[in-house]
Each structure stands twice: as structure tokens, then as C-alpha cells.
Amino acid sequence: MRQIELRRTDPTVPVVPPLHPITEFLRRNFHHVGFIITLSFNGVFLIRQLLKSADPPTRDDVLSIALFTGGMFLAFATYITMWSVLQTFKAIDICVEGICNLSKGFGPVTDILSKGFGPVTDVLKKHAEIMKNQADLLGVLAIKHAVGKDEPPPKKR
């Protein structure tokens, strides 16, 4: 339903204008735009520095060439890192959606178990409590073992 028609049926709904195409493009592709700007900035200054003169390069020329080349490398590294982080977030979103769907599917099963099988749920609760106690104990032991010991572990015979 369009916003105007929705506004006519329910006056409490605000009418929001659509985003400008440039704003929408920048919102979706900000990491691409930053990469292109950084790469072009460093590329232009690197080419300008290389074509500056036919004289032998001085220390300042070598330093500026190294900095602009490093800037281009940093732009590539940042772009690849950002891409991998975005892919990781997409994978996490898919996993969260799957877990939510699974929890919705197991809800009726747990309701049936809690209503009809009293002794079974008591056993499950005791088992969960034992597992929690074991996890807490392992955490305490790991902390005691790791903290305060600066010497290497003993050699096995």
C-alpha cells in the first residue's frame, strides 16, 4: 500500500519522502566509495610524483612515492577487510534467523514435555544443573591454572 493511501486510512502514520538517489547509493555502497576516493587520491599524487621531473629522485621524492604506494596498499587492505567483515555479519544474520526458526519449532515440543512428563523434566533440570556446575568448576580450574603461573608447564616423561 502506498504511503498516501495508508495515511488516509490511518492519520497517525507519517508520510516519509523517499531518499534522494545519491543518498541511497552512498548508504548502500559507502565502502566502495571510500575505496575509490582513497585509491584515486593516492594514484593521482603517485603519478604526479613519478612524472615530476627527469632529475634523479631525492630522499623526499622516494619518501613521497613510498607513502603514496603504501596508501594504495592500505586502501586495498581496508577494502578487503571491510568486505570480509560484511560477509561475516551476513553469515551471522543467517545463523540468527535459523536459530530463531529452530526455537519457534521446538517451542511446542518443550511445552508438551513440561506438561506431560514431570519426572522427565525433573531429570533434565538436574542434568542441566550438573552441567552448569561442571562448567563453573572447569572455569575456576582454568583460571587457577592460568593465573599466577609464570613458569612453563612441566615436561612429559
Q: With respect to residue 54, please indicate whether it lies within any of the assigned structural domains.
A: yes
Q: What is the mean pLDDT of residues 53-66?
A: 85
Q: With respect to residue 119, please indicate whether it lies within any of the assigned structural domains.
A: no
Domain that holds residue 17: 3-107
Q: With respect to residue 14, please indicate whether it lies within any of the assigned structural domains.
A: yes
Q: Which pLDDT score, from 0 to 100, does residue 70 have?
A: 93
Q: How far, in Å, CA of 92 to CA of 95, rounded?
A: 5
CA distances (Å), origin 120, targets 108, 109, 111, 112, 115: 16, 13, 13, 11, 10
Which is more confidently placed, 82 or 151? 82
What's the pLDDT band for 109 if we cut at 50, 70, 90? low
Q: Which amino acid is at 98?
A: G
Provide CB contacts within 8 A for 41, sequence distance 6+: 71
pLDDT at 146 over 80: no
DSSP per-residue codes, 118-150: HHHHHHHHHHHHHHHHHHHHHHHHHHHHHTT--
pLDDT at 31 over 90: no
Q: With respect to residue 149, please indicate whether it lies within any of the assigned structural domains.
A: no
The count of structural domains within the chain is 1
Q: How far, in Å, CA of 46 to CA of 69, rounded?
A: 7
- All three cell numbers of 9: 486510512
Q: With respect to residue 146, please indicate whether it lies within any of the assigned structural domains.
A: no
- All three cell numbers of 154: 612441566
Q: What is the mean pLDDT of residues 114-136?
A: 67
Q: Is 97 exposed, middle or buried (0-12, 13-18, 19+ CB in 10 A)?
A: exposed
Highest-pLDDT range among 18-22, 51-55, 68-72, 92-96: 68-72
